[in-house]
């Protein structure tokens, strides 16, 4: 298997039915695929080009995590703390690995992108799916509309 073959092909399994989340996740998949592209030439050797891409990727992921956490908080999602901790654990590990990349310790670009991709896909299909189902349930029961009207935060759920 080559890196090119291991890039993520967007799949219906990743669609959770909440447009704002789906849109973010599509961007995150693009971010992961850009990381693959950034190390395709030399997956075992750290280049400045790859380091730059890795730090941009981490910053963009953080931006989406913050948006998702804001949404969870507004919707009084019971799994908020646990879910937020998952984001934080990813950030901690990604930052640690990117430091190790910088100092050429143990880690190589190839393993960083696989870590990134595997975490992302499992997070979307497990934890984000549970969150999306909670929102879908709220929508069905009419609680979502009520809550967003009161908070005037409807824009948060439009893509």
Stretch of 8-16, 38-46, 62-70, 89-97 lying at the interface with Fe ion (CB under 5 A): 62-70
**Taking contact as CB under 5 A, which single stretch among the options 3-11, 40-48, 54-62, 63-71 is the one that binds Fe ion?**
63-71
Dist CA 39 CA 86 (whole Å): 26
CA atoms of 156 and 99, how far apart (whole Å): 34
Name residues contacting Fe ion, limited to 125-144 (CB under 5 A). Answer: 128
| Helix runs in the chain, H state only | 3-6, 19-38, 48-74, 80-102, 109-123, 129-141, 143-151
Considering only residues 92 through 131, tell me which ones interact with Fe ion, judged by CB under 5 A.
Answer: 128
CB nearer to Fe ion: pick between 111 and 125: 125
Alpha-carbon distance of 116 to 95, in angstroms, equals: 11
Q: Which is nearer to Fe ion, 39 or 144 (CB)?
A: 144
Closest residue to Fe ion using C-beta atoms = 128
Chain positions contacting Fe ion, by CB under 5 A: 68, 128
């Amino acid at each position: 298997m080559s890196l090119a073959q291991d890039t993520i092909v967007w799949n219906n399994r990743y669609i959770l039915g909440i447009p704002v989340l789906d849109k973010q996740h599509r961007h995150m998949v693009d971010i992961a695929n850009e990381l693959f592209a950034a190390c395709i030439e030399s997956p075992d050797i750290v280049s400045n080009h790859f380091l730059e891409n890795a730090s941009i990727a981490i910053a963009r992921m953080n931006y989406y995590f913050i948006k998702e956490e804001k949404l969870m908080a507004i919707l009084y999602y019971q799994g908020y703390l646990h879910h937020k901790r998952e984001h934080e654990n990813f950030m901690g590990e990604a930052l640690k690995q990117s430091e190790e990349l910088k100092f050429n310790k143990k880690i190589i670009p190839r393993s960083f992108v696989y870590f990134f991709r595997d975490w992302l896909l499992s997070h979307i299909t497990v934890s984000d799916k549970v969150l999306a189902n909670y929102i879908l349930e709220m929508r069905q029961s009419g609680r979502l509309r009520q809550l967003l009207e009161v908070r005037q935060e409807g824009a948060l759920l439009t893509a």
